[in-house]
Structure 1
Amino acid sequence: MTKQHLVLQTDFGLCDGAVSAMYGVAYSVDSDLRISDLTHEIPTFNIWEGSYRLYQTVSYWPAGTVFVSVVDPGVGTKRLSVVAKTVEGHYIITPDNGTLTHLKQEIGIAEVRTIDETVNRLPRSGESYTFHGRDVYAYTGARLASGVISFEEVGPRIQVEDLIELPKQEAIVEGDQITGTIDILDVRFGNLWSNVPRLLSVKEQIEYGDVLEVTIVHGTRQVYKSTMIFGRSFMDCQLGEALVYVNSLDNLGVAINQGSFAKAYGIGTGSNWTIQFKKTGERRTLLETNEHTPID
């Protein structure tokens, strides 16, 4: 059986040996495995961000790739450990705690199996209940990626419809305004990633060069309201100026040219962070540059 890539995601960070232990377990199964990291900097216990980062990444890997995602505040409880197969042919090993929300809703999950720990658990780890990332997920992931077991040998099949999902809102149009949520940050650069699809902005006849009124509300408190240009890249406005752009997931984002919008205005993420886009009727000429910064 062809060996597949094994990709790890956790909220462990790299300040101790937890991630290294997962690597060690995987290599003990097969020293020829190809192991990569998605990220180990998911904020602690933030299942939503773990779900989103999988959605952001999985489709760009070859079919058959095995992902292990461990953001598991319920470790040691009766929550299920599962392996999901997406409609694109990727495998995700994770707790059934909402981590599969975005993949299920945005890409699709074809089949799910629970992990049979009587077979797929690191030998001599039976009394450990707080490191399933090492003892169950990395071990099972390595066995699946290396071809030691098939997907059918992971464990019994369960219904896709029974997977736990996190609350997830859709962007809507109200009059002449598009309303969505700030799903996540482009962490390093402080850009805001909304759930508003580019195609929805096209439907509302928003074009590059349009000036948009952008309003951000946290709960019932208005945090930000101003106008900015809708540009193709960050260089379509002046240094330090804000703009609306299309991010790498084809949704609308908000950024400051060479600045952090999130830090500048204290913006967070989640269903209680609402963002609204509204055409003002004004247009501006996009700044012409010889080299545009790629949209991230």
Structure 2
Amino acid sequence: MLIALLTDFGNRDWFVGVMKGVILKINPNVNVVDLSHEVAPQNVKEAGFILWNAYRFFPKGTIFVCVVDPTVGSDRKIIAVQTKEHIFIAPDNGILDFVLSEVEVLKSVYVENKSYFLENISTTFHGRDIFAPVAAYISRGVDLGELGEEASFRKPEGIFVEASTPGDYIGEVIYIDRFGNLITNIKPTADIDGEVKIKEYIIEKISKTYADVKSGQLLALIDSSGLLEIGVRNGNAKELTKADYGEKVFLKVKKI
């Protein structure tokens, strides 16, 4: 059994280590791995995109514990979701939307049963006091139905912009990686011939690789996630364009 942790806690403090300690104290036989702890603080969409990129590559039965929780301690709900392949535990704040837009949900519950929490629950560290022990108990065989009442579920829509025919599409930047590449929610369904515009910058064609353009030149390509990405060969597209999360991106598909 595998538990994968995704948080915005960073690695400087004790938060991640303590979560692992809680898990292993309850189930010493489970394996715990780090998906990422460098999500920008409180950036729920960034965390959701990282999870979407990663989950399908993990073994069947993996439990994903997602703690990017700006309203921790409030009356927000915590949900546990079971799909055909995996289990996800997260605040009910949209962090799972990317994943849930494309998987079949078998069961979804609110995490409410304090029998599976630590005894003393802080208002600021539910990762330690709720998420970690709940994940550990699930890894020991506790059924999601024991955690709480069934959660209402509606499949998220409009997460990606499917560019499947010639025409004009409008998307936005949903992720910026450490290289400054601008990843959009535009999802071409095949090789395309098109033009991309972001702010005042126009990219006249879709490249196959970064090597298709000169060093320092802006380009657009379809990345390893199947999404339209804007980058700079040997440079930083975020710095060049001054674009940020939510920046509109325009794609004109000429032919497919």
Q: TM-score normalised to the size of structure 1? A: 0.78
What is residue 294 of structure 1 aligned with on the other side? none
Q: Within the alignment, does 1:131 sit opposite 2:122 as a pair? A: no
CA distance in structure 2 between the aligned counterparts of 1:66 and 1:24, rounded to whole angstroms: 16
Q: Partner residue of 1:141? A: 135
Offset from partner CA, 1:167-196 (integer Å, 9 cap, x none): 8463579984332111111x2111111111
Q: 1:215 aligns with which of 193, 197, 202?
A: 197
Contact 1:117/1:136 (<8 A) preserved = no
Equivalent of residue 184 in structure 2, options 187, 194, 217 = 194
1:32: Cα distance to partner?
2.3
**What does residue 88 of structure 2 align with?**
92
Which stretches in structure 2 are left out of the alignment for 5+ residues?
A: none
Contact 1:8 1:37 in 2 (8 A): yes
The reply to whether residue 154 of structure 1 matches residue 136 of structure 2 is: no
Q: What percentage of residue pairs aligned between the two structures are identical?
A: 27
Q: Which amino acid aligns with 1:61?
A: F
Partner of 2:116 in structure 1? Answer: 120
- Residues 29-74 of structure 1: CA deviation (Å, up to 9, x unaligned): 1222211111111111111112211111111111210000011111
1:7 and 2:1 matched: no
Task: Name the counterpart of 1:59.
Answer: 56
Amino acid at match of 2:183: W
SS at 2:33 equivalent = strand
8 Å contact from structure 2 (residues 195, 206) kept in 1: no
Query: Is 1:278 aligned to 2:256, yes or no?
Result: no
Alignment length (residue pairs): 255
The answer on whether the counterparts of 1:98 and 1:166 sit within 8 Å (CA) in structure 2 is no
Equivalent position amino acid for 2:152 in 1? Q
Consecutive unaligned residues of structure 1, counting only runs of 5 or more, are 217-222, 282-296
Report the more deviating stretch, 171-180 or 23-32.
171-180
Q: C-alpha root-mean-square deviation of aligned residues, in Å?
A: 2.4
1:242 is aligned to 2:218: yes
CA contact (8 A) 1:172 1:179 kept: no
Quick one: distance in 2 between partners of 1:266 and 1:37? 31
Amino acid at match of 1:159: S
| Segment drifting more, 259-268 vs 226-235 | 226-235
TM alignment of 1:27-66, pairs within 5 A? 27-66=24-63
- CA contact 2:159–2:185 (8 Å) conserved in 1: no
Residues 244 and 254 in structure 1, CA contact (< 8 A), matched pair in contact too: yes
| TM-score, normalised relative to structure 2 | 0.90
Quickly say closer, same or farther: Cα 1:6–1:279, change in 2 above 3 A. Answer: closer
Give SS of 1:184's match. Answer: strand
Greater Rg over alpha carbons, structure: 1
Letter in structure 2 aligned against 1:131: F
Task: State how 1:72-83 maps to structure 2 within 5 Å.
Answer: 72-83=69-80
Query: Which letter maps to 1:215?
Result: K
Amino acid corresponding to residue 22 of structure 1 in structure 2 = M
- Tell me, in whole angstroms, the C-alpha distance in 1 between the residues paired with 2:38 and 2:111: 25
Alignment of 1:220-239 (within 5 A): 223-239=199-215
Kindly provide the amino acid, as one letter, of the partner of residue 170 in structure 2: T
Preserved CA contact (<8 Å) 1:111 1:159 = no
- 1:158–1:226: structure 2 CA closer, same or farther, 3 Å change rule? closer
